[in-house]
Amino acid sequence: MLTLRRGEQLRARLNAACRRYLAIKAEPKAVTVAESEYSAEPEYPAIRDMSFKGRKLQSAAEWHEEIRQVPTVEEKMIKINMPRYYGYKVVDLNDTKVPFNALPLTQHYTRTVLEELPPKQAEPGEEKVDLDATVKVARNDIIEALEFAHDCYKHQLTLLDTPPDAVTREQQLTQIIVEQINRSALQVLSAEYPHLNEVEIDYNPRHEAFWAVGGVDPPKNVVKSKKGRDWQKADAYDSVDRLVQYTGEPYLALRHRHQLPTWKTPEESENLTLANQLPRYKHDARTLGYSTKYQHAINVPGYWPSVNAPNFGMLSFQSRAHLQLRPQACGERDQLEALHALGIQSSYAWLLAQANYNGFNTYNELTYPLNTQTVITNGREWSFYEYQLNTLLVHGPHVDSNARVNFCRGTAPQPLYAEISPEGKCVDFNDGTLRQLLTLYINAPSIQRTPDELMPYVSGPTLRRAADYENPEQREFLERTFKHLASKRPRHLELPEIYMWEKLYKIDNRTRAMEARRRFFERDINPWKRTLDQHDKEYVPRALRPGGRKNREERFKKTYYP
């Protein structure tokens, strides 16, 4: 038997490989080649940036593309949550806290240009006469509603042993006032403005939105870790992304099937110089007084995903009760800025959540603008905001390069009435404020888009929601996972805890060298890095197992994570 030596073996293998390669190369020559394969100008594939930073950007872009490709709305949200079992660390924006000097941060985080409007004067023309008549009709109704609300709440307070605190009192009273005013406004206007008949009303809906913001200075530990590596020293101070979660509960929100008309053209919305002039809050949000928490990325505009429902926000009434808790020393100017910040945050978050139900998210850019109107009120003072959402990209390099900006225009708070007299009568009712409120109601949602135009990133007409899946098991799985994420219930597997004695005697000072290292922090396990699908699968009892009792392959239920 002929035994080849090692070198000869290798040579033989190389020869074989070369022959095969040549054969493949030669093949196209033999067959006729379509002319179109060749072009006069050579077309090379794009040169990829193979530096560390370039690869990082590339992999991020690939992940964003993966999210875009995911077919249904629910799955997209699960996909965003896949990297973290215990949720992301997010900056907690909410409607119960606006710290001092929060406007620059708000504008940076939402990429919003703010235009302060003077209180609206009556516009000349036919519209004015029209509205004048309506205001006259609505006026008495609303005064009566106001008096009723105050009377009603005064009575409610007498029934309580201990009166609630000032914030709760304001919230409860304003809830009654807003509901009553909304009722009478709809009553007066709906005959003349048919779109109000199709409006869906949410009482105390849940508005939540998640997004990523770039251009924030890195925290100390990141700088330190990068400075410790020679090849990363130069990038130690590169800005990082921050994840943001807004949580709010307006008094009332109105939704409609169609979208509100836009008030900025696409040309106006795309302005890089304007985008670069926006304030940039580079410090950590905690330096202002915002807090951080761990939670899943959740987008909820007040309802669950559904097709052909009133999916577009028209008007929301936000609370300003918690502004009472701000220190007096903030001053009037900052109070106004806090209202603006609240208006911007709530409008942006609601629109982002709506966009999310149409398949967009913080990583996949909007293809059409979205509009909404927001009212911030405590029953007496009313401020009115209009918001146009043009872009969702604020993360990573987009914070510098994205030319699109969002717009918000709003007024300072105006009183609807001066006071309620001790006899329960409304004093100095302000028709101007009422007129402005009614103009928000009569702003008819007129933009209607085809489903394909509305949801370009959602699979197709037969598959838009998780409910459209044929497989019942998959449908149930997605529904359950989605609702579980949105419920904010703690995960089944609790986060492991580090006890104080362990921190002192095991982590900070290694005093127990002889002990077995069994705890997660001794085994280099970071529990926060656990991914959403890292859990035991559900067991299928033998009696219910498809393929018979002996089928070991399917003893665990399938999972359908995107």
State the residues that interact with another protein by CB under 8 A: 99-101, 217, 219-220, 282-284, 287-289, 327, 329-331, 334, 504-505, 508-509, 511
The residues near 547 (Cβ < 8 Å, ≥ 6 apart) are 553, 554
Shortest distance in whole angstroms from residue 330 CB to another protein: 6
Contact 75, 562 (CB under 8 A): yes
| 50 alpha-carbon distance from chain centroid | 32
Task: Between 512 and 557, name the residue whose CB sits nearer to another protein.
Answer: 512
Which residue number, 161 or 508, has a Cβ lying nearer to another protein?
508
Return the number of the residue (190 or 335) whose C-beta is nearest another protein: 335
- Rank residues 293 and 557 by Cβ distance to another protein and give the closer one: 293
Cα–Cα distance, 295 to 210 (Å, whole number): 10
Cα–Cα distance, 67 to 324 (Å, whole number): 41
Nearer to another protein, 327 or 546 (CB): 327
CB of 99 to another protein, least distance (A): 7
Dihedral over Cα of 383, 389, 391, 393: its sign: positive
Taking the C-alpha atoms of residue 449 and residue 358, their distance in angstroms, rounded to an integer, is 12
**Residue nearer to another protein on the CB measure, 228 or 331:** 331
Minimum distance between the CB of residue 242 and another protein, rounded to whole angstroms? 14
> Measured from the CB atom, is 93 or 285 closer to another protein?
285
Minimum CB–partner distance for residue 235 and another protein (Å): 17
Quote the least distance from Cβ 509 to another protein, whole Å.
5
Query: 3-state DSSP call for residue 415?
Result: strand
Could you tell me the smallest distance in angstroms from the CB atom of residue 278 to another protein? 17
C-beta closer to another protein: residue 239 or 367: 239
Backbone angles phi, psi at 387, to 5 degrees: -130, 140
HEC string for 133-177: HHHHHHHHHHHHHHHHHHHHHHHHHHCCCCCCCHHHHHHHHHHHH
For the chain, give the number of residues: 562
| The pair of three-digit structure tokens given for residue 148, joined into one six-digit string | 């009723």
78 neighbors 562 (Cβ within 8 angstroms): yes
CB of 168 to another protein, least distance (A): 23
Q: How far is the CB of 498 from another protein (least distance, A)?
A: 13
Residue 216: strand pairing partners:
240
